[in-house]
Chain A
Amino acid sequence: MAFTVKMAIAAMEKFNAVIEEKKEYLTDLDSAIGDADHGINMNRGMKRIMEKVRGKEYADFGGIFRDVAMTIMSVVGGSAGPLYGTFFMKFGQKLGTKSEASAGEMADALQEGLAGVMSLGKSAPGDKTMVDSLEPALRALKESADGDEAAAWNKAVAEAEKGVEATIPMLARRGRSSYLGERSIGHQDPGATSSLYLISCFRDAFLEG
């Protein structure tokens, strides 16, 4: 079974719903080491994305993720806007005019998206950012893409979960939380948490077919 454009739209619907459900939790995480707006930012962005995407016909991944990227970049005032915007833009550009993708091709797109985030944010694994859940997810998806694709997606989510937990003891080196220095230690990163949700929404959309 391949990942389809229809699944991509379903994944965005799911991401919107999860963000809506978890917006207070994400904002609480951001209030500990940031400015308490990550849930609000993401919720606003995803709502507007769904207004744009719902009911539109998309022939390929490039089309839908371009709309997703442009909307979130223009609507979300915090760092999450340009970061997620760049992620979705590069992700969609890699898949381009494809309308179906294997787990390996999805991993290649994820790699482009992650590279975009890291180059824009000048961030690397271990900096206590969204990179810390996306990077382990990518590694898992890549490693197991040639076998059972459902298992590969499950592995990606499991590794992203571990990545989120691993942000707790980290010292923040990028973004607003880095202003806190040592006081950022002991708190889970909100962006890594929302990125885990994104990966699990891709997985769920894939498993549901």
Chain B
Amino acid sequence: MIGIMVVSHSADAAKGIRDIAAGMSGAGDDVPIVGVGGNDTGGLGVSVGKIFDALSEILPKSDGVLIVPDLGSSILSSRTAVGLLPPEDAARVIISDAPILEGAMMAAVEASGGSDLAAVANSAKEARDLQKSDH
């Protein structure tokens, strides 16, 4: 099973988006989905250490992990944390270019069907084209 990691500047947002993706996708507890957010003191920000620790926890329990980050330093911090992993683990992680909420949700749906990492990443990316309105 592929795991999903939501990375946001806010711990609340990370948890909320994680909950929405887990709940609304119907993936339930089958897919390991975690939310990581906030700096080391819980304020707005991103901590490489927190992402690294979360990856180290979820990787042994899954075949691979898709990270879905929000903006800016979430992406840089995710890349940095992946770079700290042993190469064989780093090879099982992809950082998604998808919008955070839609991407996490589509990834959860795909992952719950038992798809591999490439397929999960692809579905997340397709979330870019989810149309909400004509404007």
| B-binding residues in A (CB < 8 A) | 70, 73-79, 81-83, 85-86, 120-121, 175-176
- B49-A70 in contact (CB<8A): yes
Stretch in B75-83, B101-109, B122-130 touching the partner: B75-83
Say if the beta carbon of B44 comes within 8 Å of chain A: yes
Task: Please name all residues of chain B whose beta carbon is closer than 8 Å to the beta carbon of A79 when the two chains form the complex.
Answer: 72-73, 76
Contact with A along B56-97 (1 / 0, CB 8 A): 000000000000000011001101100100000000000000
Q: Pick the contact of A120 from B39, B45, B49, B76 — CB < 8 Å?
A: B76
A39 to chain B, nearest CB (A): 15
Q: For chains A and B in complex, what number of residue pairs have CB atoms within 8 angstroms?
A: 56
A120 to B48, CA, bound (A): 13
Q: Report the separation of the CA atoms of residues A86 and B76 in the bound assembly, to the nearest whole angstrom.
A: 10
Q: Are A77 and B76 in contact (CB under 8 A)?
A: no
Whether B80 contacts A75 by the Cβ 8 Å rule is: no
Is the Cβ of A74 less than 8 Å from the Cβ of B76? no
Instruction: Tell me the chain B residues, 1-59 only, with Cβ under 8 Å from chain A.
Output: 9, 38-40, 43-50
Q: Which single member of A74, A77, A120 contacts B44 (CB below 8 Å)?
A: A77
CB atoms of A78 and B73 under 8 A apart: yes
Measured between beta carbons, the chain A residues less than 8 angstroms from B9 are 77
Please tell me if the beta carbons of A74 and B47 are within 8 angstroms of each other in the complex.
Answer: yes
**Is there an interface contact between B48 and A85, defined as CB atoms closer than 8 Å?**
yes
**Complex Cα distance A76/B80, Å?**
13
